[in-house]
Amino acid sequence: MDIQVRVWRQSGPQDKGQMVTYDVKDISPDASFLEMLDVLNEKLILDGDDPVAFDHDCREGICGMCGMMINGVAHGPERATTTCQLHMRHFKDGDVIDVEPWRAAAFPVIKDLVVNRGAFDGIIQSGGFITAPTGTAPDAHATPVPKPDADAAFEAATCIACGACVAACPNGSSMLFTAAKVAHLGLLPQGQPERDSRVVDMLDAQDAAGFGGCTNMGECAEVCPKGIPLNLIGRLNADYRKAVGKRR
């Protein structure tokens, strides 16, 4: 199939940037979206142009490195799918596809489609862990965990930190990301001792990093490639109220 892509080109953080149109011909419907960009880049290089920079690594939907706005939707038209797992069979011959980077105050553009998501690490640093230095652990069976809790913790833990939630949010909020980690650790018995400080510290870090506030728009959960549910934000708010209440 033959398509046209309109790609955001920005040579560096200071550059204003613009959309540039390219023809991409003879693409297999079985190619992934990123493989389509590979084909475009091979051509650009041989033509003496600068290839399009984009982040990607595992290309199997788990590392969270890839991500771009495709026709205005984070990770493109398929639900619960990362950009690398989106295949060209979901487009039609002759389509014109807009490709842009994540846009959020806390994710500055580095080049073209590559953004800096380091602010996510800062949120985890502030409390997204259980303090359990190596060597101090009791036997794994010392504390049984009810299966429903373990399963719910797992569901929350499947977040890959791709940043689609932030990119989709009109406020540029990272609430779903933070809520997923708060739920993952807060649902497990091992996570209880730090449960109160964790939620407070992570929210503080989130605000300090320049993410916007959450107004329950729900766009985040719509685009989440791992299907992290919106109700985790409610859970976070409940945890937060409890934690702040205890501090008073």
Residues of this chain, 154-173, that bind other proteins according to CB under 8 A: 154, 157-158, 160-161
The residue written with tokens 């109160």 in the block is: 196
- The answer to whether 228 contacts other proteins (rule: CB under 8 A) is no
Question: CB of 142: closest distance to other proteins in angstroms?
Answer: 8
Question: CB of 6: closest distance to other proteins in angstroms?
Answer: 21
Of 53 and 200, CB closest to other proteins: 53
Among 190, 210, 221, 240, binds other proteins (CB under 8 A): 190
Give the total residue count for the chain. Answer: 248
Of 72 and 135, CB closest to other proteins: 135
Backbone angles phi, psi at 176, to 5 degrees: -65, -40
Question: CB of 217: closest distance to other proteins in angstroms?
Answer: 26
- The answer to whether 180 contacts other proteins (rule: CB under 8 A) is no
- The answer to whether 76 contacts other proteins (rule: CB under 8 A) is no
Of 139 and 248, CB closest to other proteins: 139
Report the alpha-carbon distance of residue 199 to residue 192 in Å, rounded. Answer: 11
- The sign of the CA dihedral 124, 125, 127, 133 is positive
Site for other proteins in 128-157 (CB under 8 A): 128-141, 143-147, 150-151, 153-154, 157
- The answer to whether 62 contacts other proteins (rule: CB under 8 A) is yes
70 beta partners = 73, 99
- The answer to whether 223 contacts other proteins (rule: CB under 8 A) is no
- The sign of the CA dihedral 62, 66, 68, 70 is negative
Backbone angles phi, psi at 126, to 5 degrees: -75, -15
Report the alpha-carbon distance of residue 187 to residue 189 in Å, rounded. Answer: 7
Among 21, 23, 25, 125, binds other proteins (CB under 8 A): 125
Q: Helix, strand, coil: what percent of the chain each, to 5?
A: 40, 10, 50
Question: CB of 122: closest distance to other proteins in angstroms?
Answer: 9
- The answer to whether 16 contacts other proteins (rule: CB under 8 A) is no
The residue written with tokens 């979901």 in the block is: 90
- The sign of the CA dihedral 237, 148, 185, 221 is negative
- The answer to whether 81 contacts other proteins (rule: CB under 8 A) is yes
Report the alpha-carbon distance of residue 197 to residue 126 in Å, rounded. Answer: 10
DSSP state of 10: -
Report the alpha-carbon distance of residue 62 to residue 45 in Å, rounded. Answer: 29
Question: CB of 212: closest distance to other proteins in angstroms?
Answer: 21
Site for other proteins in 18-47 (CB under 8 A): 27-28, 30-32, 34-36, 38-39, 42, 44-46
Of 77 and 213, CB closest to other proteins: 77
Of 30 and 94, CB closest to other proteins: 30
